[in-house]
Amino acid sequence: MLLVLGSGVKEFCSKNILVILGFSCVIAVIALIAVGVTQNKPSPENVKYGIVLDAGSSHTSLYIYKWPAEKENDTGVVQQIEECKVKGPGISKYVQKINDLNIYLSECMERALKVVPSSQHQETPVYLGATAGMRLLRMESEESAARVLDVVTRSLSSYPFNFQGARIITGQEEGAYGWITINYLLGKFIKAQNWFYLAYPESNHEETFGALDLGGASTQITFVPTRHSESEEDSLYFRLYGKDYEVYTHSFLCYGKDQALWQKLAKDIQTANGGILRDPCFHPGYEKTVNISDLYKTPCTKKFKRTLPFEQFEIQGTGDYQQCQQSIVELFNTSYCPYSSCAFNGIFLPPIEGDFGAFSAFYFVMNFFNLTSKVSRDKVTEVVRNFCSRPWNEVKTSFVGIQEKYLSEYCFSGTYILSLLLHGYHFTNNSWDHTHFIGKIEGSEAGWTLGYMLNLTNMIPAEKPISKPLPYGTYVFLMVFFSLILVAVFSIGIFIFHKSSFSHKEGV
């Protein structure tokens, strides 16, 4: 009797101990998951903001960026949260109406005051970078350019942000910052550390994208060539995330699409019949009167300046793609090259290689033609040729919502992009197939502004930052997965123990 009673007490105690251990194990698993989730979850409130104004030749745009404060030196964490296009032309056009600049930026800056929390205003940096339009104005008159920047500086300084200055950036900077932007957003500089990366580091390496930027007054080409540059002035050296980059970059001032059109008109009017220019880059039936004084107002047309027997001339469109391209190609002087390879005008250009991201006007024009997806060069040529040949009245009827100035120039712009890439930069069919027309990447505008801010805020470190071995999502998944395994193993142990106890009873 005592033997049976002792056995029962022992079994009762064993069961209670198992229950207590099981309950403790479940609590421990829940606590483990909870601690892991709460400890590693980034605070959504701890964020920073930055504002960059792109003062281009034809317009100004304001961009607002946001990023987690604790991840300032990480990759791919900066997000564009707002874009505001300033009404009116570029700031260089206000040189004769300088006082209008006082309210020029007000609407977009007021928008920024609402988007950025008021508690963050004083610590939010604001940068204004002026590009080729102001570079041209400075070539004409340094005093005028300085006066424009002074008024813009006073206007931006009146807002409660941390204004960091307004300056004219160089063409080389514009190209380099555009290259940084797209490769940062594409995650080309650094890859997240994970098990796959640690096991196969070679397989996770990707080459950077080249950058093609087209504005109204200049165009930039930037990429990492496989051989050393023959022109030191076209080379930049970066150390980003522990890797060295030798970058080729060149900015062709006066070869943005607007200034290129002025160059072409100034060249062609010299051989025109009287005051009429029959232009193949405009649609049949299109007519427009141009003042000679406007034609020679820009420094880009000075080399074509002649004394003409008329003060105005009339453009009459003929809509011939082939002739339009021939006229454009004459702008690219390829008759001499002091290097092993050149673009045009004697400028060194390494052989084109790798993938390219083409943005700004490259994208906007191709988007108009619905050609931003992977389309062959021949298909693009066919679409632009057919568009150019359409009568002007038909085009106006088909595209009612587009301003006439822009609509009338799409034939030229499409032909110019093809001519610039194929004849200016010597892209081949293979190069064309590796060119991607990009508007935005992960919601952020492709362009120089983000790269500019990243550089000035030192958010891209020279050395590779120490990062967690696992991404947050993977970490939580593994915590849950292994915890469930632990519970399952413990449950199976209880089951086996009970089965063993039951067999022992039967034996007794």
In angstroms, the CA 66 to CA 51 distance is 9
pLDDT at 219 over 80: yes
Strand positions, DSSP E, 46-94: 47-55, 60-68, 79-85
pLDDT of residue 46: 84
Q: What is the pLDDT of residues 447-502, one digit of tens each?
A: 999 999 999 988 887 777 665 555 666 666 666 776 777 777 667 766 666 666 55
pLDDT of residue 203: 33
Higher pLDDT, 186 or 69: 186
Higher pLDDT, 197 or 44: 44
CATH 3.30.420.150 range(s) for the chain read 257-437
CATH 3.30.420.40 range(s) for the chain read 46-169+452-462
pLDDT at 429 over 60: yes
Q: What is the pLDDT of residues 304-338, one digit of tens each?
A: 999 898 999 999 999 999 999 999 999 999 999 99
pLDDT level of residue 387 (50, 70, 90 thresholds): very high
Q: What is the pLDDT of residues 134-151, one digit of tens each?
A: 999 999 999 999 999 999
pLDDT of residue 227: 86
**CB contact at 8 A, 132 and 253:** yes
In angstroms, the CA 420 to CA 133 distance is 20
pLDDT of residue 198: 38
Superfamily of 46-169+452-462 according to CATH: ATPase, nucleotide binding domain (3.30.420.40)
pTM exceeds 0.85, yes or no? no
Radius of gyration of the chain (CA): 32
Residues with a known catalytic role: 174
**What proportions of the chain, in percent to the nearest 5, are helix, strand and coil?**
50, 20, 30
Name the helix (H) or strand (E) containing 138.
helix 132-140
- Torsion of the alpha carbons at 367, 371, 373 and 377, rounded to the nearest 10: -140
Annotated binding site: 216-220
Q: Which of 194, 111, 105 is nearest to 153 (CA)?
A: 105
Annotated binding site for ATP: 216-220
pLDDT of residue 492: 72
pLDDT at 299 over 60: yes
Q: What is the pLDDT of residues 70-115, one digit of tens each?
A: 766 566 689 999 999 999 999 999 999 999 998 999 999 999 999 9
pLDDT of residue 469: 56
**Mean of all residue pLDDT scores within the chain:** 87
In angstroms, the CA 67 to CA 468 distance is 18
CATH topology for the 257-437 domain: Nucleotidyltransferase; domain 5 (3.30.420)
pLDDT at 53 over 90: yes
Percent of the chain predicted with pLDDT > 70: 80
Percent of the chain predicted with pLDDT > 90: 71
pLDDT level of residue 7 (50, 70, 90 thresholds): low
Q: What is the pLDDT of residues 178-208, one digit of tens each?
A: 999 999 999 998 754 443 333 334 333 469 9
pLDDT of residue 19: 63
State the DSSP code for 273.
B
